[in-house]
Amino acid sequence: MISFDSVILRVLQDGLLAFFVGVGFALLFNAPKKAVIMAGLLGAGGHMLRFVLREEFEIGIIAATLAGSLFIGFCSIGAAHVVHTPPVVFSMPACITMIPGLYAYRTMIGVVKIADTDTSVRTPGLLTETFHNFVLTGSLLFALAIGISVGSLLFRKKSVKHLRLRGQRKT
Amino acid sequence: MEQTTSISHKENTERIADLLLSIGVLLLSSGSNSRRMNVNISRIANAWNCKIELFSSFTGIMVSLKDKENSNLVTKFKRVAHHGVHYGIVSQISVLSWRVKDEQLSFEEVERELEIISKMPHRPAGQIYFGIGIACASLCMLMHGDYKNALVAFVASCAGLYFRRLLAGLKFNVLICIVPASFVTSLIAGMDVLYHFGKTPESTLATSVLYLIPGVPLLNAIMDMIEGHIPTAMARGLYAACILLGIAIGMILSMMLIGFSNY
């Protein structure tokens, strides 16, 4: 039986950390003030969703990342009306919270090890492991890109501003 | 008399084409994708009753502008000098293009607004350092590091960012700036590996260089690819790959200094 409180605590901690990541990268990209906050909130939401899916439902990392980035993508369409900026301004920093840094790093270390004659001969699983990390890095990046561009892909409008709710003025 | 008015019409179309080109170049050099640039420029051109054909590559933009009233045709080209990220400019131009459409802003008004937008300052350095430091430290903790790892990641990323901004200020090549920054960052993070400050030094090393990751060119490349701007997508992808290579070279140099056996 899992302890309910500790799970919520861990999810909230995860969200808080992701919030800081989103805000930090939004600042680096010179986003406007409202978009910075929105990037933090969306990043926290997406990362918390991924955390819950991975830890509690034991879904694989690629599917969980896709779910998280789709969450960010769909929410950013609605949020664009609130913040009055294009959605990519805050969905990009928000998705960077899930960037596969660790796997990219392991891929690089693996390649360096393969270049070394002694190590590459002595470690049999090295090539498999390096390639696994490489594929994982690539797939996760694609999952993030799909999440960011979902607005323009699915709705086939030129701008999310055209996606208006009922009763609003058509442009 | 007839002659002079047609010349002034021609000049007018040329000025509109110039303005649209500056908007496009500003958008591309601030890290917008090709579709966004196309849509924003076409929106303004349509509001001014012009027909526009637009071709954009990674290094330049070409427009062919036709005035619907007197069928003047102007074709112009402009180079994109550098590729950075400034989402403040991207969002301001988007707002401006909607204002042109909805409020029918005149040519002079847009010219004035664009002057202000193009001089839009970056965020204060302190904010960026603090934000990036906290972001890298948080990423480190998200990837199973403890608070000591996060502290090292904070210092390492801030120091590396300082070097990058220093070199960029001296007008070095963008790719050349990446290598020393990545070197400094992974050297400081490598101290964590060498002296075992925290529980998982691997996460410090992996996350402290993440502020250099070319996230915007990479994701723009994929978005351009999906939307059919293949040449731009490939150029962006190669550019991002070069930056990634620069990061890897910097990290490998620092590892050579510390010793591969420690990793």
Residues paired with residue B52 on neighbouring β-strands, in sequence order = B65
CB spacing of A108 vs B94 below 8 angstroms: no
Please check whether residue B104 touches A, CB under 8 A.
no
Q: Report the C-alpha gap between B127 and B133 in whole angstroms.
A: 10
The larger pLDDT score, comparing residue B8 to residue B177, is at B177
- Top pLDDT among B28 and B194 is at B28
Q: What is the DSSP string of B126-158?
A: HHHHHHHHHHHHHHHHHTT--HHHHHHHHHHHH
Nearest by CB: A28 against B91, B139, B211 = B211
Is ipTM > 0.85 here? Answer: no
Q: CB distance B252–A112 less than 8 Å?
A: yes
Contact between residue A23 and residue A36 where contact means Cβ atoms under 8 Å apart: yes
A119-166 pLDDT, tens digit each: 778 888 888 889 999 999 889 988 888 888 876 677 655 555 555 554
For residues B256 and B263, give the distance between their C-alpha atoms in angstroms, rounded to a whole number: 11
* Cβ within 8 Å, pair B219-A145: yes
Task: Supply the pLDDT for residue B7.
Answer: 56
Task: Tell me the pTM.
Answer: 0.83
- Provide the pLDDT for residue A157: 57
CB distance B63 to B252 below 8 Å:
no
Crossing angle for the helix pair B147-169 and B201-208, to the nearest 10 degrees? 30
| B174-231 pLDDT tens trace | 888 899 999 999 888 888 888 877 778 788 888 888 888 888 888 888 888 888 888 8
- Please write the tens of the pLDDT for every residue from A157-170: 555 555 555 444 44
Nearest C-alpha in A relative to B262? A109
Give yes or no for B85 touching A (CB within 8 A). yes
Q: What is the pLDDT of residue A158?
A: 53
